[in-house]
Amino acid sequence: MLKIIDLGKTEYQEALKIQRDFFLKKRKNPEIGDIILITEHYPVYTRGKSTKREHIPDNLDAPIFEIERGGSVTFHGEGQIIVYPILRLKKNLSVKKFVYILEEIMIETLKEFGIRGFRKEKFRGVFTERGKIGFVGIKISKGISMHGFSLNVNVDKSYFSKIIPCGIKDIPVCNMADFIPGVKTIYVKNILISSILKKGRRKLL
């Protein structure tokens, strides 16, 4: 059974604790239900295991947390939908395929708004003609996933300009609002949840 929980807007530490608690329970007893947490964070930077020193300046204007996911540094803020799937993955589902499905959920969501999203070779995440719009960073332990993906709707992009997002220097970050001015996060969230239930549920569980 899959349960989707909308946490609303959260401080990063708060959501991380909820996520880790579910993850540890799930890893201890994989038979308990799968959970997907959805949230928006107040401004925060997170750095994954592949972050290099040159990706982050000395002085940032928001807190930064070092976490156990893959990938480099990124920003989370209001106007960005974040999805944390805490799932028992199918035994034949590789990490690469899992990431592919998460990207596909974002691509399908963008398509509903007439925005063409696509992958780029050698990079994780989702890109558009105007820049990177979707981000993926995960951890899998004993077949259980945590962390996840984020989709920019109308987030303050100036925070990204202070770092090298995902360690990629020459590709800008963009929002859905760059294509559809005035687009509402709540509406995108509803479409995103529908994409998760239609595409992700069938392939992930």
Asked if 180 and 113 count as a contact pair (C-beta separation under 8 A), the reply is: yes
Half-sphere exposure for 149 (CA within 13 Å, toward CB):
24
- For residue 80, give the amino acid letter: Q
Band the pLDDT of 12: cuts 50, 70, 90: very high
Whether residue 205 has pLDDT greater than 60: no
Q: DSSP class of residue 176?
A: G
Band the pLDDT of 125: cuts 50, 70, 90: very high
What is the C-alpha end-to-end distance of the chain, expressed in Å?
A: 9
Distances (CA, A) of 61 to 12, 56, 73, 202: 15, 12, 14, 41
Band the pLDDT of 164: cuts 50, 70, 90: confident
Band the pLDDT of 2: cuts 50, 70, 90: confident
Instruction: Decide: helix, strand or coil at residue 135.
Output: strand
> For residue 80, what are its two tokens?
């960005």
User: Could you state, in order of their start, the residue ranges of all structural domains in the chain?
Assistant: 2-204
Q: What are phi and psi of 154, to 5 degrees?
A: -145, 40
**Cα Rg of the chain (Å, integer):** 16
Whether residue 57 has pLDDT greater than 70: no
Q: Mean pLDDT across the chain, nearest whole number? A: 89
Positions marked catalytic? 166
DSSP 42-74: SSEEEE-TT--GGGS-S--SS-EEE-SSSS-EE
Whether residue 65 has pLDDT greater than 80: no
Q: Of 12-16, 90-94, 97-101, 133-137, which range is least confident?
A: 90-94
Specify the CATH class of 2-204 in words: alpha beta
- Widest distance between CA atoms in the chain: 45
